[in-house]
Amino acid sequence: MRVLLNAVPLYGKGAGARTYTTGLLKALSASDVDMEWHVLLRDDDFNRLGLASDPRFHRVPFAGPAAPPNMMGARFLWRNTLDQAVIPFYARHYDVTHYLDTYGPFIFPGATPFTLTVHDLFPITNPEYFSPGIARYLAFLMGAIPRAAGLMAISAETARMLTALYDVPPERVRIVHNGVDARFRPASASERYAVMGKYAIGGAYLIAVGTIERRKNLARVIRAFARARRAANLPHRLLIVGAPGRGFDEVEAAIMETGLSDVARLMGYLPTEDIPALISGADALIHLSLAEGFGLPVVEGMACGAPVIASSTGAPAEIAGGAAFMVNPVDEDAITAALIQICQDTALQARLREDGLRRARLFSWDHVADTAIAMYHEAAASRRRVTH
């Protein structure tokens, strides 16, 4: 069987989709399945992911010279030209095509089945997190969902919304949680001290990781953190790690308004190799997002042995599975109380570290790959039934 993998999400889409693409490709390569995977990747990424040495993987020829432009609008056009024109054109040469992000093709060769991984449905359920034009365009692309020969949802919450919005029976949707990369593990004391020295971090701290955007609820977290510091005389700093996104200015304003410019640090985008040690050294990782399709920082925090404070609603609650300190993400008083409790209660920290490590072991990219492979076989079988 020859499968075309559309790895365009690796180039500039959301951080979650990039992580998913990387995790799935590496897990497919680690499998022992007799299958050909033809993947849209630049040559350097094909080598970096270790796919060049796997005879089952083939880089799609047109991927070599393709590179995303530096301008945001041009980058969006580049990605969507590949998604909507180039991939459908080449798809007729393959048994199955897998779009690794939510947004499928609005025109696709009828005889070739395509499959989709659905990460979230925010352009419809939460359009306020996008510019109006982008929300409408992405919602239009999501119209491909009912036409997919196979569907994977990264959480039961995403699957629930998918079946509520589209004429898709629940039994057509495979629910399979994302995995967690092996680099997310409890760091040694020397690793923690090294990364703290690198970034001049002294003393206790809390951490939030992920793109800094409005739905991450960080402005409210900052206000609650300021109240917690005053009420309990907490010595902690707050590290916010991630690239600026839509709503970044609100986070900057919250830091200035609360007078936390000396203790709440916007760290920016950091090298991936430094993140696990930073998380491991934190007294807690905070992920109180208002909307998530999954919530990777919850799993990554638990895998690093950090106590996690997570939203009590939506996908983060599903992913945490009772192994995190659950808080209503819109209740600032409850967030304040949670921050005080987790910073002062070392027994609670120890319990959450242990529970989180146990929970994190359930999230495997190998399981994601096995589910995708089963989906490819089923989609290809549906094609044979149609053509015979």
Write the CATH number for 381.
3.40.50.2000
pLDDT higher than 80, residue 337? yes
Using CA of residue 55, residue 56, residue 62, residue 63, what is the dihedral sign?
A: negative
Rounded to whole angstroms, how far apart are CA atoms 119 and 244?
A: 21
Same domain flag for 348 and 246? yes
Instruction: Let me know the angle formed at the C-alpha of 237 by 258 and 323, rounded to the nearest 5 degrees.
Output: 110
Q: How many CA atoms lie within 13 A of 273 on its CB side?
A: 3
Residue 91 lies in a domain: yes
pLDDT band at 64 (very low <50, low <70, confident <90, very high): very low
Task: Give the whole-angstrom CA distance, residue 266 versus residue 201.
Answer: 13
Pick the range with the lowest mean pLDDT from 67-76, 277-286, 313-322, 342-351.
67-76
In a domain, 184, yes or no: no
Residues 141 and 121: beta-carbon distance below 8 Å: no
Spatial distance between the Cα atoms of 380 and 3, rounded to a whole number of angstroms: 9
Q: Do 369 and 354 share a structural domain?
A: no
Mean pLDDT, residues 154-177: 95
C-alpha dist (Å) from residue 326 to 34, 147, 257: 43, 37, 27
Nearest to residue 151, comparing CAs of 173, 171, 169? Answer: 173
Nearest-angstrom CA–CA distance, 242 and 262: 18
One domain for residues 301 and 232: yes
Q: What is the helix (H) or strand (E) element at residue 320, kind and residue range?
A: helix 314-320
Tokens of 199: 């970034």
Structural domain contains residue 86: yes
Q: How far is CA 198 from CA 191, 193, 337, 368, in A?
A: 11, 9, 31, 35
Tens-digit pLDDT profile for residues 118-156: 999 999 999 999 889 989 999 999 999 999 999 999 999
Find the domain containing 93 and state its range: 2-179+364-387
With cut-offs at 50, 70 and 90, classify the pLDDT of residue 10: confident
Which pairs count as long-range contacts for 226-233, CB under 8 Å and 24+ apart, including other chains?
Answer: 226/258, 226/259, 226/260, 227/332, 227/336, 228/336, 228/339, 228/340, 228/343, 229/260, 229/263, 231/336, 231/340, 232/340, 232/343, 232/344
- In a domain, residue 369? The reply is yes
Clarify whether residues 84 and 125 are in a common domain: yes
If one counts every other C-beta atom within 10 angstroms of the C-beta of residue 341, the result is 16
- Phi/psi region, residue 213 (left: phi>0; alpha: psi -120 to 50; beta: rest), is beta
Q: Specify if 194 maps to a domain.
A: yes
**How large is the average pLDDT for residues 330-350?**
98
Strand arrangement, sheet containing 57-59: 57-59, 36-39, 2-6, 96-99, 114-118, 150-153, 173-175
Give 386 or 147, the one with higher predicted confidence: 147
Instruction: Look at residue 317 and tell me whether its pLDDT is greater than 80.
Output: yes
- Using alpha carbons only, give the angle 213, 22, 98 rounded to the nearest 5 degrees: 100
Domain count, the chain: 2
Judge if 217 and 333 occupy the same domain. Answer: yes
- One domain for residues 67 and 197: no
Long-range contacts of 244-250 (CB under 8 A, 24+ apart): 244/211, 244/212, 244/268, 245/211, 245/212, 245/213, 245/214, 246/129, 246/130, 246/213, 246/214, 247/212, 247/213, 247/214, 247/215, 247/216, 247/219, 248/212, 248/213, 250/214, 250/219
List 312's β-bridge partners, or say none: none
User: Based on the domain organization, do 277 and 162 belong to the same domain?
Assistant: no
Phi, psi for residue 60 in degrees, rounded to 5: -65, 130
pLDDT digits (tens, 9 = 90+) for 175-226: 999 999 999 999 999 999 999 999 999 999 999 999 999 999 999 999 999 9
**Residue for token pair 């039961």:** 156
Give one DSSP letter per residue of 249-286, joined into a string: HHHHHHHHHTT-TTTEEEEES--GGGHHHHHHTSSEEE
Percent of the chain with pLDDT over 70: 94
155 with 219, same domain?
Answer: no
Candidate from 51-60, 105-114, 137-146 with smallest mean pLDDT: 105-114
Q: How many alpha carbons lie under 13 Å from residue 82 in its C-beta half-sphere?
A: 26
Residue 265 in domain: yes
Q: Is residue 261 one of the residues assigned to a domain?
A: yes
- 323 plus 371 within the same structural domain: no
Pair 166, 145: CB distance under 8 Å: yes
What was the pLDDT predicted at 82? 82
Helices 346-360 + 296-303 axis angle, to 10: 110
Residue 324 included in any domain: yes
